[in-house]
Structures are given as C-alpha cells and as structure tokens.
Structure 1
Amino acid sequence: FLYPDRIVIGADTDRCAAVLREIYAPLVEGTYYMRPDAIPRPDRAQIPPPLIATSAKSAELIKHASNAFLAMKISFINAVASICESVGANVQQVCKGIGTDARIGPRFLNPGIGYGGSCFPKDLMAFRAVARESGYDFRLLDEVMRINEEQRARFIRKVRSALWTLRGKKLGVLGLAFKGGTDDIRESPAILLIKSLLQEGCEIRAYDPAAHERAKEVLNSGVSLTVSAYDAAHDVDALLILTEWEEFAALDLVRLRSEMKYPIVIDGRNLYDPEVMAAAGFTYYSVGRSAASPEPTPTNAIQPGKKIRS
C-alpha cells in the first residue's frame, strides 16, 4: 500500500478529484518516505508513484480489468503447466523463457493450485457481470475461472493417483492462507482443497505460520492444526504443500522424511527441485514437472566382504 505502482483516482467532479488528491498527497508528494528506515522500500518502488485521474467508471474498470488480467496470467500458466506434464516438459524452464520477454515479464507466471484471496475471485465475477449488463459476452473470463477450478481438481487427482485411494489416508498439509505472508484464508485454494479431501474421507494434519485462528472458523474436527511443519508431517501417508511460505521452502529434509510414514510429497507450489527431493529419498510430485523418485536400490548389490564368483 505504501509503495504502489500507481495511484488511480476516479472522480466525476473537480471537487471530488481535489479531495482525493489531498488524501493521497503524502504518497504522491513523497512526504510519507521521510523515514525509509521505518518503512523498507521495495527494490522496484517508484517514488513518487504516478497519479492517474479518471472518471469514476474508468477507475472501477481499471480495478476490475487489472485483477482480471493477473488472474488470466495465472490461469494461463497453469494451463501451460498441464500441457508440460502431458508432454514431459519442465514448466519452470518454460516460465523462464516466457518471462524474460520484456513484453510479458516474469511476475504472476507461477504455476500452482490456482489463485484465491479477497480480490481476484470477486473482481473477476464483478467484471463478468458488468460485461453482461453492457451486452458483451466476455467468455475469456469464464475460461479463466474454469481453469482455476480445474487446477484444484487436477491436484486432487494427482494426490489420488499417488496414493491409489484417498479414503482413510492421513495427509499432512503445509499452508492454509491463500498465499504466503498473510493470515487471509478468503477463497484460499488450500482451504478449498482441504474441504474436498475431507469429503473424500481423508484425515488432515495441517500447519500454517499465521492462519490457524482464522482456519478454525471454517474447518471441522477432521483437521488437526499442528505446531510445526514437522508435526504436520508426523506419521502421514503423504505431505501436501499448498501455500508458498518461505519456511516451507527451507525444511530439514532428513528430519521431514523421518517424521513421515511414507516419504511422498505433493507440492502444489513448486518450492523444491525434483532432483533434490529424489536424492533426499522422497517420491516427489509438483505442478508442470515430471515426478521424481529415489533411485531403486539393486537387490543384488554386492555386500561388503562378499566375493564375486567368476
């Protein structure tokens, strides 16, 4: 909020525009940034940010269209990830190739389990409603939402395929918030997936660094909230990574494996390198990349001191 890319004010009278300019003056004039030590400045921040004055209707459409475009970018790369899985390509490599094009950029090219939160779902539906009321059939928005829902369904199928069945399985879940760095669970893909897994007969052990209190309001007794990621992994049939918290990308893999009943990790956020996970003894599934498994131990391996007959 303190370092916006731009400030858009929508006003249909000079008086309204003047009031809004006064409200945002500390950001526009740069007076808010007198203490950069108190408010860390992001590397890409533009100070002061550009102020764009429009009509009220234009400002509303800017909000809806901006979030719809970002959601479209997420659904697009998730669709690309699905194709990558089918043809054996690596979506991370594809993302790098796409994102280095200056016309596209790397932001929001992060395949996963879909978008959520309080903005994208709401603004997409609002934008679609505005389009319909105006007489325009904006079917692209319908497809963005369909792909987002399908991405969660694909993840459920991936979990089922890894375990053969879901009923009676004990699953560890890392992440409840809709993204890392927040306790917001509104329209969280993690919460929606957990509810689907509960309906399939799974038992869930879940951990999130910030969202436990909010999660308690929407999850039933089939979910045990734990005190750490390792506790969530204790004696589980598989571990699911559903939110991209930094601490989930820096786990002690030896300790993690020792906690689990079966070393199966299904990563909905692509936090780990498949080769690293396989080397650590995990069967590892992610989004848009081939599954990885530990190298099998030869059954006829030569034991120490064993002689070879010629």
Structure 2
Amino acid sequence: MKITVVGTGYVGLVTGTCLAETGNDVLCVDIDAKKVEMMREGVVPIYEPHLDILFERNIKANRLNFTTSLDEGLTHGDIVFLALPTPEDEDGSADLSYVLNVSEEIGKKIKDYKVIVDKSTVPVGTAEKVQKTIAKYANCDFDVVSNPEFLREGFAVDDFLKPERIVVGSSSEKATALMKKLYSPFVRSGNPIIIMDEKSAELTKYAANSFLATKITFMNEIANYCELVGADVDKVRVGMGSDSRIGKRFLFPGIGYGGSCFPKDVKALHKSGKDADYDFKILDSVIEVNNHQKVILLPKIEKHFNNDLTRKNIAVWGLAFKPETDDIREAPSIYMMEGLLELGANLTVFDPEAMPNIKKRFGDKLTYASSMYSTLENVDALLICTEWSIFRTLNYQKLKDLMKSPVIFDGRNLYDVNEMNSEGIKYVSIGRKVVEI
C-alpha cells in the first residue's frame, strides 16, 4: 500500500518506518528541510532502540522516503497519517493548530479519495473538526479516521510491530476496510483490531494514559505514607501486585512521571472535562501529587546538609524522563536540578542518551561527565533520577573511594536497603527506611 506520514517526530517516524518494514511504500513529509535531508542520508533524528536498523534497511530498499512537499505526499499516499504535534496550551488543553492547519492544506490540495488518519493524541471531537476543515475546500471524497498510538518510548518499535491492540475509530466501511488491510500483518497472532466510533477512539488514548498515571500516582502516595508509619513500600507493592485484578505493572514508586504523554494527556483530559462541565476530581489529585512528587527528595537533601547547599557538589545519574530514551520533556530530573541550583549546589550530571538535550536547556549551569563514575569525584552526594540499567549494579568500593562521603538519594529505588546498610552507605529512597551512617 502507498502510505504518507505527515510529521516525522517520535510517533511519525516510528509509524512510517514500521509500516515500511511490512512492505508498504512510505513517504514521510516534514517542513524541516535540514531534518529531511539528514534522514535521506540515513541519519535517525531521535534515539529509540532498534529504530536505526529498520530505518536503514527500508531506506536502502526504497520503501521509506522523505520530502518537504505536502503536494508530493498527497499525490503519493492512499492513506495519509497526521502525526503532528499537539502541545499543551497555557490552559492545559491540546493545541490543535498544527493538525487543523495541515487539514486545511489537505482540503485545498487533494484530488482523489484519501483516508486521513489522526495518529496524534487529540481531544474528543478532533476527527470531526478535521473532517469539517477539509470539507470546506475539498472537491473529492475522503474519510477521516482516528487511530491513536500506544507507543512506549524505549519500546516503540516492538509496540508497533507487535501491538496488544489496534484501535480504529471510523464510521466509514471503506476506510475501515483499508485500515484493517494495512494493519493485518501486525495482528497475525490474534490480537484485536478494535473498531469503534471516532470520539470513543480519541477518548480511549486519553483514558488509558490517565489511568496509568493515576496508578503510578496512587503508588507514590502509598510510598509517602509508608515512610511515615514505618512500612516498606516494596513489600506492599509485591503484595498488591500479586492480585490479578491489580497486576504488577506501574506499581513502582519514585519521583513522579514525566515525558511527552502522561503529563500532557492527563491535563488535556482534565481540561476537556471542564469544557464539558465535568470535573475530573481524580485527575485534580493526580496532577497535584505528581507535581509534588517530582521534588520530594529536595527537602531530604536539604535536611542532610543542614539546610545549606551552598557550593555543595552533587552528582546526578539519569536525566531522561525514563530509561531507553533521550526525551527530557517533563523529566523529574529537571525539577530536581532546578531546585538544587537555586539552593546554591554545584551539579555534575550523566545520562547515557539525554546529555545533548539537557545541555540545550541548562548550558554551562551544569558540569557534564563522560561516564557514571566520573561524576562522583569529590562530590558530597549522589542523586538518581532515572533507572537506566547501567546504574543497577554498583561498584561500592569505587563509589566510596571517589565520593567525599557515601550518600545516595535514590528517586527510583534501585538498590536493596539492607545491602546499602552493610556497605556503610547512607541511602535515602522512596517509601522505605533510611539507611544512616
């Protein structure tokens, strides 16, 4: 099939590459000429495990191509995916200007039947707005479909190639048949393609992400309570997770969620509720708790240094909002580092992938280390913000030799409390007892 993907951000590039991998002829459109030229030369502009291999293979096979011309894209594709930014507006709503501006251009340019697919995460009613915008100008038939993405950063390629489910919102039999044909190679094991109306499809994505954010937030509340009463959140988590109605996933406490999806989607659903005169009280609490959780270690660090962090040297491991990505959007590390800098601390930081993005934001306010252990030279404490695998096994002696004093503030509960105790390391984590030295 001939596919066009408008927008080569995180969702668009993964979508285009993975659709090419199953034999489709894919043309990706982006207004950034420099980025398009870079991709034509085989350079992947984002970090996502395994994407580079598929990207290179499909460019060589001429199944994956790039252009700055929307006209060329509309001539090429029978199915046109809109994978455009929907950034958070000042009031928490999703900004649809990119989607609707491109929809207007599509209406002016299409000459024959197309299926226009909303792939971006958009509020309820967006497909209807896209339909009306295109219809103002179009002189041919077209259909608008909602097809939300469920891609986890760090696992996006696997999520696309082996989806648990595919949601298609469509009221057109013709468009539905084309979407089923397109996605049939991805569901050969029997996972469902779920057909529903457009509004329900749009809400499904927001509801799923908001529920997961709520689950994380609830566990963080339990962890905070554990600290007050002397319970161990790890034991509580295991006990809860063994209940099949609850499940084991998304029960790990920490310093809050971040990224491009959860914060934005929770706020957008919350705002959409207000627009419909409905108050999502649960989401009020989720937003409030998560904002607090991102900096929950800050007063503990202050207390350790007797409320004076002036010229204290602190190492930071992990800058991305989660492992296996270079994405720093809404990353808890940012909030922690901004707080520490305001209190006068000096920060030396390390992340396997996110350093360039952090450097764009913080510049020379931070010292950037070349490895995890080089951050520790003569520092007064270590702060962990992201649970990269390379941080999971510590060389205790090396850590103690490098640091002025072995003190760890762990925002991701990577280490065993008893082991920290036996190694003589002060260890402060989330929802567990503090190891003193």
Question: Where on the TM-score scale, by shorter chain, does this alignment land: which range?
Answer: 0.7 to 0.9
Corresponding residue number in structure 2 for 1:83? 225
1:189 aligned residue (313, 332, 336):
332
Say whether 1:222 aligns with 2:365.
Answer: yes
For 1:20, the equivalent position in structure 2 comes to 179
Alignment of 1:32-181 (within 5 A): 47-164=189-306, 165-181=308-324
3-state SS in 2 of match to 1:76: helix
Aligned residue identity for 2:283: L
Superposition deviation, residue 20 in structure 1: 2.0
Deviations 1:129-181 (A, max 9, x none): 11111111112101001100111232111111122222221100000000111
**Between the two proteins, what is the percent identity of the paired residues?**
43
Deviation at 1:17, TM superposition (A): 1.7
Question: Normalised by the size of structure 1, how large is the TM-score?
Answer: 0.87
Per-residue CA distance 1:86-113 (angstroms, 9 max, x = gap): 0011000000111111100110001000
Whether contact under 8 Å (1:175, 1:208) holds in the other structure is yes
Please report how far the alpha carbon of residue 16 of structure 1 lies from its aligned counterpart in structure 2 after TM superposition: 2.4
Tell me the CA shift for residue 61 of structure 1: 0.6
Stretch moving more, 142-151 or 12-21: 12-21
Matched residue, 2:386: 243
AA of the residue aligned to 1:85: E
Q: What amino acid is the match of 1:78? A: N
Rounded Cα–Cα distance in structure 2 between residues aligned with 1:80 and 1:254: 33
Post-superposition Cα deviations, 1:254-294, rounded to whole Å, max 9, x if no partner, equal 11111101111010000001111121121110000010124
User: Aligned partners of 1:193, 1:24: CA distance in 2, in Å?
Assistant: 42
Unaligned segments of structure 2, at least 5 residues = 1-158
Q: Which residue, out of 146, 170, 174, partners 1:11?
A: 170
| SS of match in other structure, 1:173 | strand
2 CA distance for matches of 1:166 and 1:9?
A: 53
List gaps (5 residues or longer) in structure 1. Answer: 31-46, 295-310
User: Is 1:280 equivalent to 2:401 in the alignment?
Assistant: no
Amino acid aligned to 1:99: G
Residues 1:267 and 2:426 aligned together:
no
Counterpart AA for 1:217: K
SS of residue in 2 equivalent to 1:293:
coil
Corresponding position of 1:233: 376
Counterpart position of 2:141: none
Q: Is the 8 A contact 1:27 1:48 kept in 2?
A: no
1:49-70 deviation digits (Å, cap 9, x = unpaired): 2111111110111000000000
Structure 1 residue 12, shift from structure 2 partner? 2.4
**Using the alignment, how far apart are the partners of 2:321 and 2:193 within structure 1?**
30
Tell me the TM-score normalised to structure 2 length.
0.62
Q: Which gives a bigger RCO, structure 1 or 2 (Cα 8 Å, sep 6+)?
A: 1
Work out the CA distance in 1 between the residues paired with 2:251 and 2:380: 31
Aligned length: 277
What SS does structure 2 have at the residue aligned with 1:192?
Answer: helix
Classify 1:50/1:237 alpha carbon distance in 2 versus 1 (closer, same or farther; 3 Å). Answer: same
Q: 1-side partners of 2:385 and 2:313: how far apart?
A: 16
Q: Please state whether the residue corresponding to 1:239 is helix, strand or coil.
A: strand
Distance 2:388 2:190 in 1: 30
Cα RMSD, aligned residues only: 1.2
Offset from partner CA, 1:32-52 (integer Å, 9 cap, x none): xxxxxxxxxxxxxxx332111
Supply the distance in 2 between the matched residues of 1:5 and 1:266 (Cα, whole angstroms). 36
- Distance in 2 (alpha carbons) for counterparts of 1:142 and 1:19: 40
2:167 is paired with a residue whose SS is strand
User: C-alpha distance in 2, partners of 1:218/1:49?
Assistant: 41
Distance, in Å, in 1 between the alignment partners of 2:330 and 2:300 is 21
Q: How far 1:204 sits from its partner (Å)?
A: 0.5
1:213 to 2:356 alignment: yes
The alignment partner of 1:20 has SS state of helix
Question: 1: CA distance between counterparts of 2:171 and 2:417?
Answer: 54
